[in-house]
Structure 1
Amino acid sequence: MTPVEVREVQVTVDCAGPAALCAFWCAVLGYERQAPPPGFDSWEAALDAWHVPDDQRDARDAAVPPAGASGPRLFFQRVPEPKTVKNRLHLDVRAAPGLAGDARMAALEAEAERLVGLGARRLQRYEPGGMDAGHVVMADPEGNEFCLD
């Protein structure tokens, strides 16, 4: 059997305001805004050096795990059309790993409350039962659904 090369993935999010959505997801996940390229002290300095017009400066942004942590890079790109239907792919934010029952739901509720304070919207709570351990469906500030799991 030929070995399969493991590849990294990047999660790309189409949005209206990349910088704001990047900041939201950094706060949700404990990520950091990707550092500017070598030779630049800030993204603003890089954009100035590259002569990027003001109206194109919020065209993209990226969030990465902090040093020593693992996870996919999140790339936010501005698109002209608004979100219109439910996501076919969404993130599950593991907010209560290892917890069950009331303790799990309490942890999920606490995280939901924190994220609402950051601009998220709570959409629906699913109670534990059967194969579902219980979760909360949320939407980020631009309406992209995600779950607190």
Structure 2
Amino acid sequence: MPLHFATISMPERVSLKFASCSRMASNAARRAEWRRQRRGNFQALGVAVGEFRVFLKEYGVVGLALGVIIGGKAGELVTAIVEGLLMPVIGLFLPGGEWQEWVVGEFKVGIVLAALINFIVVAYFVFFVSKRLLRESSVVKK
């Protein structure tokens, strides 16, 4: 049954008021302590983020990650170009596409030849793009 303020006598009202004030004060103190702890956590997080940024810049991790990502996608692109454009041209000179299945004794020469062509095209593509993108003025020599 809820208490109605009008049914409480004056001394009881005063004691309830002070009890609620002390509860409010303890809640406020708890909230203030919680805020101080949170602020410390955020400051520690800020220090960690700052150190992480320095690490990324100092060791060139971002450039490495971008290189790996772009290199992987460039490899897929070059593989598609080799399989979609270059191999059909080779197939014109060696009809039937059976050259990839050439075998000398136990050695599968055709597979190695196809991988070699793919590697040469990927290496040239990476060399060409890196030479265009990383000009002499943008590369810092140590």
Same fold per TM (> 0.5)?
no
Scaled to the shorter chain, the TM-score interval is under 0.3
Structure 1 length as normaliser, TM-score?
Answer: 0.21
Structure with greater Cα Rg: 2
Greater share of strand residues, 1 or 2? 1
Q: Report which of the two has the higher share of helix.
A: 2
* Higher RCO (CA < 8 A, seq sep 6+): 1
